[in-house]
Amino acid sequence: MDVSAIARAATSIADTGLKQDVALAVQKKAQDVQASSAQALIEAIPPVPKASNLPSNLGNNINTTA
């Protein structure tokens, strides 16, 4: 093997490692953006209003024989 082939192989290996590091950083950033977007959507959901005009016993039991 000549010296230039060894240098090319070393450069190729280094470039591959750098590309993987960059891809991983981009993926982590994308996950952070998605997490913050999901959190904003969850916080934007309005609270469920209580049905004050229903009897107090309604909704306490589930009829499983129907």
The stretch 44-56 carries a mean pLDDT of 79
Residue 17 has pLDDT above 90, yes or no: no
pLDDT one-digit tens code per residue, 21-36: 899 999 999 999 999 9
Which of 2-6, 26-30, 58-62 shows the highest mean pLDDT?
26-30
The CA-based angle 7-9-11, given to 5 degrees, is 70
Helix H or strand E encompassing 7: helix 3-44
DSSP 8-state secondary structure symbol assigned to residue 60:
S
CA distance 37 to 40: 5
